[in-house]
Amino acid sequence: MKKTRSFTLPITIFSIVLIGTIALLFFLPAYDREVSFDVKILPMLNAIYNLFTFSFLVISLVAIKKRNINVHRNFILWAFVSTALFLITYVMYHFLTEPTPFGGSATMKMIYYFILISHVLLAIVNVPLALISVSHGFNMQIERHRKIARWTMPIWLYVSATGVIVYLLISPYY
């Protein structure tokens, strides 16, 4: 029988460090950080990476519904790659700049903040869920993988889709 690896400790540590680092970015004092490129391109890259993630997740979902495990696994891994690229550009942008205030109407502001807050809260939940889902799949613990993936997939799809929507709503104010 194949021995399964436990990823619980690394997943817990990574999730806490990542979420803590992102939270810390919003409490760092603002100061002029000079860079040699226009940082305003980073939010657009974030949206593109979120769109890639969403697309890869949809393809992987269709593949698993058709019982094509290899395509499913490959596109989940691509979703992780695009999510990792998103996280890199997201942290860079928020380290290098101050938060952008939303400048729309009161109604649009309420819609924007509802989407943003739900996006952020579910993104926090999604970090360990996605890592646990993939570790169960990696260990061929199919039943455990299916149970958690039923929650992970819709949350991850929502987070990646709303990431694009948040960008579209805030982009006029950069």
Residue 2 lies in a domain: no
Residue 3 lies in a domain: no
Of the candidates 84, 36, 75, 95, the one whose C-alpha atom is nearest the C-alpha of residue 153 is: 75
As for how many domains the chain has, the answer is 1
Distance between CA atoms of 8 and 136, rounded to whole angstroms?
Answer: 11
Chain segment 2-31, per-residue pLDDT in tens: 567 778 888 999 999 989 988 888 787 766
* Structural domain of 95: 39-173
Residue 120 lies in a domain: yes
Residue 33 lies in a domain: no
Residue 31 lies in a domain: no
Is the pTM here over 0.85, yes or no? Answer: yes
Residue 32 lies in a domain: no
Residue 100 lies in a domain: yes
Residue 17 lies in a domain: no
The low-confidence residues of the chain, meaning pLDDT below 70, are: 1-3, 30-32
The answer to whether the Cα torsion of 10, 13, 17, 18 is positive or negative is: positive
